[in-house]
Amino acid sequence: MAEASDIALWITQLADADPAKRAAAARAAHRAAFTECFSESNDWIHDPEFLELTRPFEPLFFVVGIAVRPETFERIRLANAFPRLAEVPKNQDAIEFELHFGGEGDLDILTTCDLKGSGAIARYLEKFGEGIQQVEVNVSDVDRATALLSARFGIRPIYPTTQAGADHTRVNFFLLPAARGRKCLIELVEPASK
């Protein structure tokens, strides 16, 4: 992943009044997450059957999730004309909204309802501070994608069954090896049925 100072700069720039700076920050975060999380050690991302599950979402089949403190969340939201807040299941202790930059890459800005809480975002912020928390991979069938990663690549999901996600999506998570000996949290996301 990029250096912490680079990520901190991008997060600051996401709240800049200049749309070009916000887009450049999104592009940089997207590129860094892709390089880190889809390293050569993650062969599953090149599997034809898995890629078929991402095909409806091309060219941007993945979204970068950035965890920030509540005050940063509000600054970014204000600078981007108050994007709609997602409907997040209450048990997840999270608030989030999406930012879309077209060819620059999509971001999901996440914060916690309670910095002292036990939710995943609160724990991430406590341990790592603000940063790239996850990469969300859009798939047409999360159960099939989870089964494929388990059976073909021996990658075990964090949850034994698919969970409810934001805006009525269906999700599951994997903690996978990333570049430089790090780990990357991958969230498989199946959009809500229309």
Q: Hey, CA dihedral for 46, 171, 3, 101, is it positive or negative?
A: positive
What CA–CA distances, in Å, run from 130 to 6, 9, 58?
A: 12, 11, 28
User: Which fold is adopted by the domain 4-190?
Assistant: 2,3-Dihydroxybiphenyl 1,2-Dioxygenase; domain 1 (3.10.180)
For residue 109, what are its two tokens?
A: 């800005």
Residue given tokens 């991008």 in the structure block = 10
Are 146 and 186 in contact, with CB atoms under 8 Å apart?
A: no
User: What residues contact residue 44 under an 8 Å CB cut-off, 6+ apart?
Assistant: 50, 148, 149, 152, 153, 155
Q: What is the pLDDT along the chain (194 residues), one digit of tens a residue?
A: 578 899 999 999 999 999 999 999 999 999 999 888 887 678 888 899 999 999 888 776 889 999 999 999 999 999 999 999 999 998 899 999 999 988 667 999 999 999 988 899 999 999 999 999 999 999 999 999 999 999 999 999 999 999 999 999 999 999 988 877 788 999 999 999 75
Q: Any idea where the domains of the chain sit in the sequence? A: 4-190
Q: What pTM did the predictor assign?
A: 0.93
